[in-house]
Chains A and B, each alone.
Chain A
Amino acid sequence: MNIIVCAKQVVDASEIKIDSSSNKPILEGIPKKISDIDKNALEEAIKIKEKHNGKITVVTVGSADAKERIKELLAMGADEGVLIPYPDKYDYHIVSTLLAEAIKKIGEYDIILCGEASTDLFSGQIGPKIAGLLDISQITYAQSVNAEKDKVTAERNMGEKSVTSESSYPVLITVTKEINEPRLPSLMQILGAANKPINEWDIESLVVGLEPKIKTVELKGVSMDRKNIVFENNLDDSVGKLVDNLAKDGVLG
């Protein structure tokens, strides 16, 4: 079974501060990581490989430092990595087209796995967009996946209901965070990952003449000003003060 996992390097949104003078989020110097739910996608890929054998390729469109992140995914259990650099200008259309073209270049695949959305922008477009570009079936928001030899069944979390779907291969599946607990690689696996290949592909080798469809005009910071009054001594005192404050604020009904 050949599995392709799309993974994104993101900034850790919990570390973002807002520059009060320009009212813009400060994105430079923030720790980067693989988007959490993409690790769930890889974990699911590894489980499928454990059952059916095959190969897992991780594809990332990202900046050069994403190579370090891809090594983490190779340590977890992916066999090979592909890194495509960000073009000067990019949007969802460009990233999904690059991923779809890279998937075509990889050639043989049964399952493409993505996280339901990335933790930075949380748009959730990329998975279904790739399925549309490749014109293959899609199963989104999977909270459990059962891959068999010639078909896959998945239980989809649709909020007010759960929908069990089945598809033949090839299929694109997006997973939710609940599907599994991504494994932590052992020291041996981390060392072993150094010998696994990471291929860096030029944009031009995949597609020419790509133009973004969306332009970001502005990124406005949203600061969250809270009073941050914390009571931590005598409990009865603390409760009393809290209730007085809430009454004063007029929020007690």
Chain B
Amino acid sequence: MVLVYSDNKKLTFELLSKGSELAKDLGKKSTALIIGKNDDLLANEYISYGADNVFVAESDIDSFKAEEYAEILEKVINETGKDTILIGSNKNGKELASRLAGKLNAGCIVDCTNIYLKDNKITTERVVYSGNAISVEQFNSKPRILTISSKVFEPLKKDANRKGEIVKKKIETGKSSSKILKIKEAVTEDVNVEDADIIVSCGRGFKNKGDIKLANELADVLKGRTIGCSRPIAADLKWMSEDHWIGLSGHKVKPKLYIATGISGQIQHIAGMRDSGVIVAINKDPDALIFKSADYGIVGDLYEVLPKLTSAIKDKMS
């Protein structure tokens, strides 16, 4: 009764781990959904990662559109009688899940950080109020739609001996009145802030793009070597690519050391880094909000502090 879907393979593995566990606890089966061309290789991979079976919704649609994908999911749900739908919480997945919930008049919980059975009811947790609270919720009705971000659950160990059925069915959809004109890959610098151990992060306190090198030099002497930034640097000024962006709508990070330089400490930024081990703030404004969220702070001009800090750490570590 559990249907699992994401357009991201790795995320689907993670969802299958939770999905198959829930299905087992409820005495039901888990099904992974593939939308598009038939892909036996992928279907078998999903089985080896825990899917009891795989449903391939064959379709000619060549790129993701929420209108068409929601229609396919609706038809698959009607066809298979699935009542618990786990969807990967990337940008496509969220708009898909929400639209589907509208079409099915269903309850939907986005960005679950935990899912478990309590009193035999599916119970979820999610972060609200920019990280100040966790909301614990239960469904009153079926179908239930849940979305889960990457790295919330560990995938099962791959087991090529697992067996499962693969069902294929052609699913027709109506034409959506929107169309995709252009897809442009964003310039990324292949940074993975979510995996970083130590992050030096930059905010509006930097006056020019070139000055970011001061943060780079600090990151270089620290193991970790990763540079992050707040919303204005990535989204408004575009001094850094969005893979550096840490915050509520950017990346959520938990390094062991987070150094915020020239960042004022808006709650949306805090939401992205509040789980860090040790937080250091450098800001020239003694009243900056960031100090409230920091273990250590230096009140001072980052243009003076950073070079001194870089050389002090270099000395300490040598």
Contacts and interface: CB of A to CB of B under 8 A. Distances in A.
9 contacts: A97-B105, A121-B135, A132-B70, A138-B99, A160-B243, A167-B179, A214-B138, A221-B133, A226-B295
A96 to B, nearest CB: 6
A252 B137 contact: no
Interface in A198-242: 211-222, 224, 226-232, 235-236, 238-240, 242
Nearest to A171: B178
A28 interface: no
A133 B106 CA distance: 11
Contacts of B130: 13-14, 119-120, 122
Interface in B108-135: 108-111, 123, 126-135
B99 A128 contact: yes
Contacts of A159: 90-91, 186, 242
Interface string B11-38: 0000000000000000000000000000
Top 5 A-B pairs ranked by shortest CB distance?
A: A132-B102, A213-B107, A253-B223, A167-B178, A128-B98
B180 A251 contact: no
Interface string B55-76: 0000000000011001000000
A16 interface: yes
Given A235-B304, A252-B316, A222 B106 contact: no
B185 interface: yes
Contact of A166 (B131, B178, B294): B178
A222 B235 contact: no
Given A125-B108, A235-B304, A251-B257, A222 B100 contact: no
B274 A129 contact: no
Which secondary structure dominates chain A's binding surface? mixed
Contact of B186 (A160, A213, A236): A160
User: Which of B94, B248, B249 gathers the greatest number of chain A CB atoms within 10 Å?
Assistant: B249
A79 interface: no
Nearest to A226: B295
A239 B305 contact: yes
B222 interface: yes
Contact of A137 (B67, B109, B131, B249): B67
Contacts of A130: 102
Most buried by B among A133, A239, A245: A239
A160 B248 CA distance: 16
B162 interface: no
A161 B185 contact: yes
A224 B267 CA distance: 12
B99 A131 contact: yes
B298 A231 contact: yes
A13 B129 contact: yes
A65 interface: no
